[in-house]
């Protein structure tokens, strides 16, 4: 079956611009996660959705970052007034459910964001 998909695969923008990154989770998965992976680092947790609501947004670095999942499926990560330090690969993952000790997350290929 189809895995997690993310669009675009690459995004180049200028400092100060607004960007949206999209994630399509595996069908039927209720949990959705966003991570950010900087060069040479492991992924860092940003936000977690259970259904439509953000259950944990403690990883969002500041109020320029926002994410939505209005219908409990597709999610969009929004970054306002982008800065060069926002350049990274943004990963999305989905999981059949959350709140259990075994919680395999299936990752998408990522969106590489470059802020010039």
Partner 1 sequence: GNSVTQMEGPVTLSEEAFLTINCTYTATGYPSLFWYVQYPGEGLQLLLKATKADDKGSNKGFEATYRKETTSFHLEKGSVQVSDSAVYFCALRGGGADGLTFGKGTHLIIQP
Is 106 within 8 Å of 3 (Cβ atoms)? yes
Nearer to partner 1, 14 or 101 (CB): 101
Residue 53 in contact with partner 1, rule: CB under 8 A:
no
The token duo for 32 is 């959705």
Residue 25 in contact with partner 1, rule: CB under 8 A:
no
Instruction: List, in sequence order, every residue forming a beta bridge with 11; answer none if it has no partner.
Output: 113
Residue 31 in contact with partner 1, rule: CB under 8 A:
yes
Residue 40 in contact with partner 1, rule: CB under 8 A:
yes
Least separation in angstroms between residue 98's CB and partner 1 is 6
Residue 45 in contact with partner 1, rule: CB under 8 A:
yes
Cβ contacts of 69-75, under 8 Å, gap ≥ 24: 69/32, 72/30, 73/24, 73/25, 73/27, 74/22, 74/23, 74/24, 74/25, 75/22, 75/23, 75/25, 75/32, 75/34, 75/49
Nearer to partner 1, 79 or 108 (CB): 108
What are the residues binding partner 1 (CB under 8 A)? 3-4, 31, 33, 35, 40-46, 48, 55-56, 58-59, 91, 93, 98-99, 101-110
């Amino acid at each position: 079956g189809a895995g997690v998909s993310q669009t675009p695969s690459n995004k180049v923008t200028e400092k100060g611009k607004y960007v949206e990154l999209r994630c399509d989770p595996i069908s039927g998965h209720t949990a959705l996660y966003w991570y950010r992976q900087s060069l040479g680092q492991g992924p860092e947790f940003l936000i977690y959705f259970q259904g439509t609501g953000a259950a944990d947004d403690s990883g969002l670095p500041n109020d320029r970052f926002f994410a939505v999942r209005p219908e409990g499926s597709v999610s969009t990560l929004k970054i306002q007034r982008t800065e060069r330090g926002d350049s990274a690969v943004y990963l999305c993952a989905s999981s059949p459910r959350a709140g259990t000790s075994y919680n395999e997350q299936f990752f998408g290929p990522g969106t590489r964001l470059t802020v010039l």
